[in-house]
Amino acid sequence: MAAESAADWVPGDLLGLRIPSHAEALRAGGTAFLTDAFRAAGALPADNSVRRVTEFAEVGGGSTGRKLLLSVEYEKPDPALHTELFVKFSRDFTDPVRDRGRTQMQFEVRFAALSRCDGFPIAVPSCQFGDYHAGSGTGILICERIPFGRQGIESQHHKCLDYEMPAPLEHYRALLTTVARLVGAHKAGRLPAYLTEQFPVEMEAAAVGERAPVTPESVQRRVAWYAEFAALNPGLFPANIRSAAFTSRLTQEVTRVAEHEPAIWRHLAADRDYTALCHWNANVDNAWFWRDAGDRLHCGLMDWGCVSQMNVAMAIWGAMSGAETAMWDRHLDELLHLFAAEVARYGGPDLGVEVLTRDLMLYVALMGITWLLNVPALLRRRAPDLAEATSRVDPRVKDDEDVRAPLQMLTNMLNLWDTYDFGGMLG
């Protein structure tokens, strides 16, 4: 705890309360802090208070910050008050790698405040309190805990295990419908402008970890490493993206993408009709699903780190990057038409599916050269015995999200590269 004690509490930038930077500080703050915090956020009436903490348990997961399960009782019980809560800290003082992601919470906290506005168009975990200290990157977010597997909520669907998901197309329809509703409401001006204007339009800010330098030479080397990796692990990749003809074309086209990288980012930012407030990583593990009385599937979204205004194609990739490759092959056009129709239904502009497709593929190309072509090197370090795996359902892949998720995203990127004319899109 010595590393934590220097900054147990810092002043929050939004609500004026001092906020705890780690779990033990929150425990010490107890019911007095929780009462003040919930009142300040508008989640608890002034004539009520937190009487007792009944559960306080740290949990793992995620790529940044520490997390815990928190349950409380109130002096005046009320069915409208949430008692089972989830707490996220931006900091992880015991892990420098995880702690580097602390800035992701800055806009997540602002989004939590936005989500409390009347008529918010989509379901998100109800925010009890959130604040952030930009000077240190210290933040805390306390929200309703989603009761997966209870109260009509489906069990949580884990990333890149869609082959175990019932009715996957129905789930992706619900997922993209939810993403589109937020886009439409934002573009229609149905969200308070003084709050949405706090979210930057920074296409390159939403990145996966620290980017390796991108040059034509570096991306050609990564294609060569991929080709070698695929030859050693043929059971992990479809035949079409292991062929010599494909890797030869890929080598030529990644060079052009690397040369055009700044222009592609400018293009993605240029058309404001296609730029909106979005969840950057609305994969199925950041969603929850339930059915109404008519058996219609609905979706809510959680974990809003890196939320910002971005080209909507980036949000579509974030939602579908871990889907089965067959979903992309068979249903992408249908899902993009659904997305565009829902944006318009919620008051947004008429988005062209051809434009959505082009922007999506350009963003996929950028993800390829800046991150996904590094995956073979990452997997060699993470799982050096992968050559013994004959398919993605091998336990060495299936049971390790840090293996199966990047592998599936790499496969989807390469399959799209093989399917679409990425080179022709560059002009």
How do residues 82-115 score in pLDDT, each as one tens digit?
A: 999 999 999 999 999 889 889 989 999 999 999 9
Q: Does residue 47 contact residue 166 with C-beta atoms inside 8 Å?
A: no
Structure tokens of 154? 């489906």
Instruction: Give the residue extent of every domain in the chain.
Output: 2-144, 162-425
337-348 tens-digit pLDDT = 999 999 999 999
Distance CA 415, CA 238 (A): 8
* Prediction pTM value: 0.94
Q: Could you report the per-residue pLDDT of 354-369, keeping only the tens digit for each?
A: 999 999 999 999 999 9
DSSP β-ladder status, 50-59 and 67-74: antiparallel
CA triple 13-19-22, angle to 5 deg: 130
What count of residues does the chain have? 427
Decide if 56 contacts 45 (C-beta within 8 A).
no
CB 71 within 8 A of CB 51: no
Average pLDDT, stretch 174-186? 98
The CATH class given to the 2-144 domain equals alpha beta
pLDDT of residue 212: 65
**Amino acid found at 21:** S
> What angle (nearest 5°) sits at the alpha carbon of residue 194, between those of residues 190 and 199?
90
pLDDT, one tens digit per residue, over 22-68 is: 999 999 999 999 999 999 999 999 999 999 999 999 998 777 899 99
Spatial distance between the Cα atoms of 148 and 300, rounded to a whole number of angstroms: 12
Share of the chain above pLDDT 70, in %: 97
353-370 helix and 401-419 helix, angle to the nearest 10 degrees: 130
Asked if pLDDT for residue 208 goes beyond 90, the answer is no
Say yes or no to pLDDT of 371 above 60: yes
Cα–Cα dist 244/226, whole Å: 12
What pLDDT does 4 receive? 41
Residues contacting residue 128 through CB under 8 Å, at least 6 positions apart:
37, 38, 41, 43, 44, 82, 85, 142, 143, 144
Instruction: Please state which of the four CATH numbers 1.10.1060, 3.90.1200, 3.90.1150, 2.60.40 is assigned to the domain occupying 162-425.
Output: 3.90.1200
